[in-house]
Homo-oligomer: A and B are copies of this chain.
Amino acid sequence: MAKKVPTEADKKMEELVSLCRRRGFIFQSSLIYGGINSCWDYGPLGVELKNNIKRFWWKSMTQDRDDIEGLDASIIMHPRVWEASGHVAGFHDPLVDCKQCKHRFRADEVNSPACPDCGGELTEPRQFNLMFKTFVGPVEEEAALVYLRPETAQGIYVNFLNVLGPSRQKIPFGIAQIGKAFRNEITPGNFVFRMREFEQMEMQYFVRPGTDEQWFDYWKEQRMQWYLNLGIRKEKLRIHEHTHKELAHYARKALDIEYEFPFGWKELEGVHNRTDFDLSRHQEYSSKDLTYFDQELNQHYVPYIIETSAGVDRTLLTCLIDAYEVENPGKKEERTVLRLSPKIAPIKAAILPLVNRDGMPDVAKKIADELRPHLKIFYDDGGSIGRRYRRQDEAGTPFGITVDSQTLQDETVTLRERDSMSQIRVKISELKDALLKRIAI
C-alpha cells in the first residue's frame, strides 16, 4: 500500500491547526523540546474559549435548574474504586504491531489483515490496560499503586451519599462534574479529538428504576439542544443509537451524539442508561449501603443512572471546526472568520481607533477601560483598520467598536458585527448594554 495522499479533510484540519497555533488557541505541549505526543496546551484565546464552554455547561447543569448538584472529585482515588468499576479487569484495548514498519494500531480500528500503512504482516492482538499508574508515598518500595482516573464518573458514584445528604435532594436528581481524565491511548490523534490527557463534563442522573427509559429520552433531547444552544449547526449533528452488539456491559441503552468532523462522523457525547450497575458494584466492593430510601414508595432501592458524558476538548474542537470559514478563497476579498457564538467567543469586543491621531486612541482607551470590568475586550491600534478587523474575525471576536472622527463630534461609535460585517452607530453611553444584550451570556 502506498503512503496516504492528503485529503481535503486533512487539508482542512491542517489549516485549522495552523490557525490555532498562529492565533494562540492551541499549541503542542512542550514544543521547544520537540513536543510530547497527544498532549496540547491552550493559549490565551484557547483557554478563554475552553473556560466559556465549561461555564456554559456548568450553568446549564447546576444553575439554570435546581435538580443537579456540582462536584469536583480528585484525580487520584482509592485503587479499589477501579476494581469496583471494572476498569482494572476490563479497561483494555487490543493492540497489533506491524512486523515490517513497526507502526502500532488498535486491532479494532484495522479493517484489513495487513498493515494499513505499508501492507506488512500484523502481530496477534495483545490486550493493554489504558489506565496510567503512579505511586503514592515517598519510599518507592512501600508506595501504593494508584491510577490517574480514566473517567470522572466514578468520583460521582462514590460520592453519591455524600452529596445526597447535604444537598437534601430527592430522586430524580443529578450530580455534575468537570475535570481531567487520563487514558494511555494506543492511537491518540486528530488534534485535540483524542488525547491522553483530556477534560470531561459528566453528569450522572439518579432515577427510580422503571423511570429510566423516560429519563434516557429526556436527556437525549436536552443534550442535543445544548449543542444547538452552543451555536453548532444542526445539519452537522446526529444521533447514533447503539445496537445490542455495541452496548457496553453496564448499559441497557446507549447513544452517541455525533458531529461530522472533517475526518468523519465521530462521537461528541454519550448518553447511557447504566442501570444500577455502578452503585451496586460500589456497594458490593465497599460493603457500604448505597441504597436510597424513596419516601413516596416507602422502599429502599439502588437508583438507576442516566449518564451524559461529554468531552471539553472535543466540544471545543467542534466549535472551532463548525465556526471556521474562509470566504472568497484566493480572491482579494478573502476573509478567514471564526463564527463562534458570542456566548463562547474568547474576546467579546475589539476597541479600535480608526487612526492613531486626533485623540481617537484616547477616546478608544477610555471606552476600553469602561467596558473591561464587564466583558473580555481587546484594544488594538496597530495597523490599518481593515487588517485589524481581519485579525479579530480570525479570532472569533463577534463585535468591533470603532472610534472615528464622527465620535469626536457626537459621542457615537460604530458597532461592527463580525458575521455580516454590517455596522451601526451606537452612543458610547449605551455601548455596554448594547453589547451585553447581544452577547446574552
**A contacts, CB < 8 Å to B:** 21-24, 27, 29-37, 39-48, 50-51, 58, 62-66, 69-78, 80-81, 93, 95, 104, 128, 130, 132-139, 146, 148, 155, 158-159, 161-163, 165-168, 180, 182, 184-186, 196-197, 282, 285-286, 288, 290, 368, 372-373, 375-376, 378-379, 382
Contacts and interface: CB of A to CB of B under 8 A. Distances in A.
A77 B47 contact: no
A43 B136 contact: no
Contacts of A43: 69, 71, 159, 162-163, 166
A378 B81 CA distance: 32
A205 to B, nearest CB: 15
Given A42-B72, A71-B42, A373-B64, A30 B138 contact: no
A51 B282 CA distance: 29
A366 to B, nearest CB: 13
B134 A22 contact: no
Contacts of A186: 138
Interface centre among A40, A43, A180 (most CB of B within 10 A): A43
Contact of A33 (B66, B95, B158, B372): B158
5 contacts: A41-B74, A41-B159, A44-B167, A63-B373, A74-B197
Contact of A70 (B47, B70, B73, B382): B47
Interface centre among A44, A77, A167, A288 (most CB of B within 10 A): A44
Given A41-B71, A41-B72, A77 B32 contact: no
Nearest to A83: B33
Nearest to A179: B180
Contact of A76 (B24, B32, B39, B136): B39
Contacts of A77: 29-30, 36, 39
A138 B128 contact: yes
* Prevailing SS type, chain A contact patch: mixed
Contact of A158 (B31, B73, B155): B31
Given A130-B138, A138-B184, A24 B163 contact: yes
Given A136-B196, A159-B43, A73 B23 contact: no
B159 A196 contact: no
Contact of A45 (B47, B132, B166, B376): B166
A98 to B, nearest CB: 14
A71 B48 CA distance: 9
Contacts of A368: 66
A185 B139 CA distance: 11
B166 A29 contact: no
Contact of A74 (B40, B288, B372): B40
A376 B63 contact: yes
A132 B146 CA distance: 11
Contact of A32 (B22, B75, B282, B375): B282
A72 B93 contact: no
A180 B29 contact: no
A133 B136 CA distance: 10
A160 to B, nearest CB: 9
Given A80-B33, A168-B382, A159 B27 contact: yes
Contacts of A184: 135-138
Contacts of A30: 77-78, 80-81, 158
B286 A166 contact: no
A134 B36 CA distance: 14
Contacts of A51: 58
A163 B36 contact: no
Nearest to A41: B73
A288 to B, nearest CB: 5
Contact of A286 (B33, B137, B138, B382): B33
Nearest to A288: B32
B34 A78 contact: yes
Nearest to A376: B63
Given A43-B71, A78-B34, A134 B158 contact: no
B33 A78 contact: yes
Contacts of A66: 368, 372, 378-379
